[in-house]
Amino acid sequence: MTRLIPDSVVGRTALVLVAALALSLGVALFVFAGSRSEALAALGGRNAAERVAALVALVEETPPEARRHVLRRMDSTGFRAGWGANPLVGDTEEPFGLAKAVTRDLAPALDGRQIRVAMGPPPPGPTQHPQGMGMGGGPGGGFGLGHGLHGPALRISVRLHDGSWLNVFAPLDLGEPLWGLRFLGPVVAALLAVTLAALWAVRRATRPFATFAAAAERLGLEITAPPVPETGPREVRKAAHAFNVMQGRIRRFVDDRTQMLAAISHDLRTPITRLKLRAEFIDDEDERSRLLADLDEMERMIAATLSFAKDDALREDRRPVDVAALVQGLAEDLGGSYDGPDRLVIEARPTALKRAVANLIENAVKYGGTARCRLEAQIGQTVLTVADDGPGIPEAEFERVFAPFVRLEASRNRDTGGTGLGLAVARAAIRAHGGDVILSNRPEGGLTVTAQIPNAPIIPAANA
């Protein structure tokens, strides 16, 4: 059953609306069909009572030898009348429902004559042919109704003054059934029209959900994204306003953090410069070299921290970038190798993408001795893999190495230089494009870094 339930809010809401509408319409049709049948049956009963009252008076005024001809002329498919020695309705059949109402209508007009009324088809057994209507008895005989009797109807027997019985068989015309194409066709068409209108209305009502989802995703990629339009119903306007306020607070928080780090960086550079000047007066050359190296490393850390915090490259606009030429050029400059197409253009932020690729290649060369870069265009995304021949990373440390300033032991330590921001900057840049960076150890040794960028190429790639 869960497979049949739509997964979207639009589908589920529309399903509930349509199911409720179909159920209510079915109940209404059922009630209407019952009321219609009762009304038609009551109308047929009143008509039958009026005709029987008039027919009783006519038959009693007609001589017995002529009654057969008179009744034959009164005969029709909707009203069968006969005259015989036996009543069509047995004395054990109690009237109820419509039969009781017809009995009540006939009683005032028939001056106390014995009246029997029942519902249903005539009793089984042969009946006399119209040509043989007489007073004869026999099993099922003497009714004088002729042949061709069938279906539910009113059965009425009235005892005449001479002791004979006037029998009437009046089939009930309940009209055409409501479940035919003539009636159900317009109902189904109306239900389909209401379903389409409900789908349109629900989709329109739930459109703000898609807007909020897109805005939240855009905010995760770009902190300077435009605010959500505060339009629509009151609840939607209120939610949009709250989202815009939240976005403004996040932007102000990031800006305040950047300004604070810029101020700290500026304030730290001044004492570092003074320390460098004082270090020049140290007579011990080894001590002076170590001190200057530490001060240089502090300057690099401050610059890298400020650059990571500002993320200026992530604020640039996207434009077509030949990622194949970018990766190939960086691999040649940084000591790696390249395998992939000669040209592959995607929509990206050039500076951020270049910084991310450069960091991945530098890390591979620095900690793994080599960087084998492979670029390929897959369905809906561009994938860059950078493999090295280093010792790899324990799987338990895969997530921790992306944290800022984290440098693992062994070959990934302070002796190799760096600030521990390479992978953090690379993943931040790739995620800003909507992708991600994944680590995996090679079976033969070494680490493979996979960068996935969900940007379809806008120019077909040519294989190298």
pTM, whole model, 2 decimals? 0.48
Q: Rounded to an integer, what distance in angstroms lies between the CA atom of residue 313 and that of residue 376?
A: 24
The CB density around residue 389, as the number of other CB atoms within 10 Å, is 16
Write down the pLDDT at residue 463: 42
**Segment (H or E) for 276:** helix 234-279
Residue keyed to tokens 């009348």? 81
Q: What is the pLDDT of residues 43-77, one digit of tens each?
A: 878 888 888 888 888 888 888 888 878 888 877 76
Q: Helix, strand, or coil here: 96? A: coil
pLDDT attached to residue 439:
93
Residue 360 has a pLDDT of: 92
Q: What is the strand order of the sheet 372-378 is part of?
A: 337-339, 372-378, 381-387, 447-453, 436-441
Residue 323 structure tokens? 């990622």
* Residue (of 245, 459, 453, 223) closest to 356 by Cα position: 453
Tell me the C-alpha distance between 464 and 443, whole Å. Answer: 27
pLDDT on residue 147: 46
Strands (E), 115-186: 115-119, 153-159, 165-171
380: Cα within 13 Å, side-chain hemisphere: 2
Please report the pLDDT score of residue 221 as a whole number.
Answer: 65
**Which residues of the chain, if any, have pLDDT below 70?**
1-3, 77-78, 122-152, 175-182, 220-223, 304-315, 405-420, 455-464
Residue with tokens 């209407």: 32
Q: What is the pLDDT of residue 361?
A: 93
pLDDT at 125: 47
E-state strands within 197-350? 319-322, 337-339, 343-348
Angle between helices 285-310 and 422-432 (to 10 degrees): 10
Mark residue 142 as left, alpha or beta (left: phi above 0; alpha: psi -120 to 50; beta: remaining).
Answer: left
Distance of CA 209 to the CA centre of its chain: 13
Q: What is the pLDDT at residue 412?
A: 43
**What is the identity of the amino acid at 40?**
L
pLDDT value of position 180: 63
Count other Cβ atoms within 10 Å, centred on residue 209.
14
What are 68's two structure tokens? 């057969």
Cβ(162)–Cβ(101) under 8 Å? no
